[in-house]
A and B are shown apart, each in its own frame.
Chain A
Amino acid sequence: MTVPLLEVRNLRVEFPTRRGTLVALDDVSFSIAPGEVLGVVGESGAGKSMTGAAIIGLLEPPGRIAGGQILLNGRRIDNLPYSELRKLRGREIGAIFQDPLTTLNPLYTVGAQLIETMVTHLPLNPAQARAKAIEWLELVGIPAASQRIDSYPHEFSGGMRQRVVIALALCAEPKLIVADEPTTALDVSIQAQVISLLKSLARDKGTSMMLVTHDMGVIAETADRVAVMYAGRIVEIGAVRNVVQQASHPYSAGLMGSIPPVGRRLERLQQIDGSMPRLSSIPPGCAYNPRCPKVFDRCRVDRPELMPAKDGNLAACWLYAEQGVPRHA
C-alpha cells in the first residue's frame, strides 16, 4: 500500500462529565489511502460520527482528543492550533453532514456560500469564484445552475440541497471528504442518486472519502474497505467484500445477517439481542461479550486488540487469538 493520506493512530476521545470521564473513542486506528473510500458502520452511538468530528477538529465541547494521533499526509493535525486547523478544513478535508435541511445557512444564496468558501481557500477573485460556483452546481447536477445560483436554500428540495452541500464540501478541492451519514435524511429514492454522485465525483477528483453510515447497502456499493465500530472501538476492518460476505467478528456477522437478502426467499432475519452498552457502563473484557453468541471465558476478562482474522481482515476477537499474535502485543 502507498503512503496513507489519512492515518489515525490509537485515537482516544474523552468527555469529562460530573460523574467522571466517559471514553467515547478508545484506541481507534485506521488509515485511508489516496483515492480510497473507507466505510465506517455501526449502531447509533458506536462512535462513527465522533471519529469524523475528531478528524475535522470539530468535536463538540467538552469532548476532547485525549490520546493518539491523527496524521494527514504524514503531518500531525490533531494538535494544530485552531487557526491552522481552520485552513485545513474545506481545503484539505471536506465535510458533509447528515441533514441537508439544516446544514445550509438559510439567509444566504447557495452561490454566496459557494463563493465564500472558494474565496477563503483558493486564489480566486469573486467573479472567477462565481463562474466556478456555477460549474460546481452543474457538476453536482443542479438544473439551470446559472439561474439557481442566486436561489436560497429553502427554494431547493432536500435532495437538491444535499447536492449543494456536496458542491460546498468539494469546491475547495480537498483530498479527503468526511461524509457523515450523507443520505440518512433523504428519501430512499434520492439516496441512490446522491451516493452515486458522491462516488463518481470522488473518483473523478481522486478524492479519498470516509463514509460514515449505518446503511450496509451504501457501504457495499461505495466503499473499498470497511471499518465496523462498536462501543467506541473498531471491532473489524477489512476489504468490503470480505467483511460483507464473511465477517470475522461475531458482531459484524450479526450486523451483516440483519440485512434482508434480495433475490432469495425471505427467511426470518437475524437479530442481535440486547443493545449496545452505555459509555458509562462498558463491561470488562470485550465490550460485546454480553451479546456475543460465541462468548467464552477469556472474553469476559481481557479486552481483545485487532488481530489478523479471516481473509486478511483484522478483527478484535479472541476467536482468532491462536491464528496469530495480536497486533499490539
Chain B
Amino acid sequence: MFAFIISRLLQALPVMLTVALLSFAMFAYVGDPVAIMLGQDYTIAQRDQLVADLGLDQPFFVQFMKFVVNAAQGEFGLSYRLSRPVAQLIVERAPATLELALCAAILALAVGVPMGVYTGLYRNSWLSRFFLTFSLIGVSLPTFLIGILLILTFSVWLGWLPSFGRGDTVNIGGWSTGLLTWSGLKALILPSITLGLFQLTLIMRLVRAEMMEVLRTDYIKFARARGLTNRAVHFGHALKNTLVPVITITGLQLGAIIAFAIVTETVFQWPGMGLLFIQSVAVADIPVMSAYLLLIALMFVTINLIVDLLYYAVDPRLRIGRGKGAH
C-alpha cells in the first residue's frame, strides 16, 4: 500500500511540473511585471537594477527552477492588484471555497445516492418519474441561471435567505468558518444548492443506471434465492457493487466543484478563491492566476490519489494483482 502511494506521488510529479511550466510561462510572457512595478517614470538604470533584482536577466530554466522552488514553499510573490502576498490572499479565501464545495458535495451525495437507488429499484413509480424529470432540469439548466432563480425565489420573493455574501464568520486558528453561526449557515444554503445541483442529478442518474445494471446480475438473483432481506440485497449487495464508478465520478466532480465554483461565487458574491480568480483575471493579476492554476492542479492530483485508494478499499479484485506484484 505504501509503495503504491509513493509510486502514485512520483507519477503526480510530472503533472505538477507541467502545470508549473504553464503557469510560469504565463508569468514570463503575459504582460511586463517590470513595467507594472515601476510605474510610469523611471530611468534605464532603475529598470536594469530591478530586472537584476528580480532575476529576470537569468536564463529561462534558471528562472523556472526558482519559480518551482518558491512555489513548493508556497511563495508566489505579490498580487499586482492588491500588493499583498498571493499565498496570504489564497489562505484567506480558501476556507470560503472549501466549505462551499464540501457542503455542495455532501448535498449531492446525501441526496443523489438515495434518489439513484430509489429510482433504480422502483423504475415505474410516479416518484421515480418525478425525480427523473427533475434531474433533467438539474442537468440542463446552467449554474448561473439556477443561482439567479434561487435568489429570485428565496431572497427576493420570500425573503427567507440572504442573496449574497457569507454572513457572519468565526475565526478558528486562521480558518474563518461560516458553519458555526446562524447567518453563516443560512448564507451557505443557496450557493450550496446552486453548486451541488448538477452534481446531485449526475450522481443520481449514475447510481440509477448502475443499480439497474447490477440488479440484473446473477449474484443479486442468488442473494434473493438465499432469502436475504431486501435491505441486505439492495444496500449491501447491489449498492456496494455500484460504488466504483460512483467514486470515480464523485472524485472528479469534487475537483470540478472546487475549480468551477467561480460561477457560483460570482453570482452570490461569495468571498472565495473563485471570486478572487475572476477579479484577478479582469486586471491581469498574473501571480494570483498562476498560483490558482497550480493549486487547482494539486487538488485534482490529490483527489485522484484518494479515489484510487478508495477503489482498493471497495473492490478486493484490485488488491490481489498488486499483492502478487503485478506486471
User: Could you tell me which residues of chain B, from 231 to 258, have a CB within 8 Å of some CB in chain A?
Assistant: 232, 236-237, 240-241
Give me 5 other A-B pairs in contact (C-beta within 8 A), A95-B226, A117-B228 excluded: A58-B224, A99-B218, A103-B219, A152-B316, A168-B226
What chain A residues lie within 8 Å of B217 (beta carbons)? 102
Interface residues of B (CB under 8 A from A): 217-219, 221-230, 232, 236-237, 240-241, 314-317, 320
A95-B315 contact, Cβ under 8 Å, with A86-B229, A116-B228, A121-B227:
no
Q: Is the interface of A mostly helix, strand, loop or mixed?
A: mixed
A155: chain B residues within 8 A (beta carbon): 320
**CB <8 Å contact, B232 and A120:** yes
List the B residue with the shortest CB-CB distance to A180. B225
Select which of B218, B222, B227, B315 is within 8 A of A107 by beta carbon: B315
Across the interface, name the chain A residue whose C-beta is closest to B218.
A102
- Residues of A218-239 at the interface with B, using a CB-CB cut-off of 8 Å, are none
Q: How far is the CB of A110 from chain B (nearest CB, A)?
A: 11
Q: Would B317 and A106 count as touching, CB distance under 8 A?
A: yes
Judging by beta carbons under 8 Å apart, are A90 and B237 in contact? Answer: no
Which residue in chain A gives the minimum CB-CB distance to B214?
A: A105
**Which chain B residues border A86 with CB–CB below 8 Å?**
224, 227-230
Interchain CB contact under 8 A, A107 and B229: no
How distant is the Cα of A87 from the Cα of B221 in the complex, in angstroms? 15
Query: A56 near B223 (CB under 8 angstroms)?
Result: no
**Structural contact, B227 and A87, CB atoms closer than 8 A:** yes
**Residues of A in contact with B (beta carbons under 8 Å apart):** 56, 58, 86-91, 94-95, 97, 99, 102-109, 116-117, 120-121, 152, 154-155, 165, 168-169, 172
Q: How far does the alpha carbon of A89 sit from the alpha carbon of B233 in the complex, in Å? A: 13
CB pair A107–B225 under 8 Å, yes or no, is: no
Chain A residues, CB < 8 A from B225? 56, 58, 89-90, 94-95, 97, 169
Given A86-B227, A169-B226, A172-B227: A106 in contact with B218 (beta carbons within 8 A): no
When the two chains form their complex, are residues B218 and A154 in contact, meaning their CB atoms are under 8 A apart? no
Residue on B with the closest CB to A91?
Answer: B227
Closest Cβ of chain B to A98, distance in Å, is 8
Nearest first, the 3 A-B pairs at minimum CB distance are A90-B227, A89-B227, A95-B225
Which chain B positions have C-beta within 8 A of A94? 225-226
CB distance from B19 to the nearest CB of A (A): 36
Chain A, residue nearest B238 (CB): A105
Contact at A154–B223, with CB atoms within 8 Å?
no
A106: nearest chain-B partner, CB-CB: B317
A181 to B77, CA, bound (A): 72
Supposing A106-B317, A155-B320 touch, asked if A97 and B226 sit within 8 A by C-beta, the answer is no
Are A95 and B240 in contact, with the CB atoms below 8 A?
no
Q: Is the CB of B227 within 8 A of A97?
A: no
Nearest Cβ distance between residue A129 and chain B, in whole angstroms? 13
What's the least CB distance linking A267 to chain B, in Å?
40
Q: How far is the CA of A127 from the CA of B41 in the complex (A)?
A: 84
B317 touches A154 (CB 8 A): yes
A117's contact among B226, B230, B314, B315, by CB below 8 Å, is which? B226
Among A89, A99, A105, A172, contact of B237 (Cβ-Cβ < 8 Å): A105
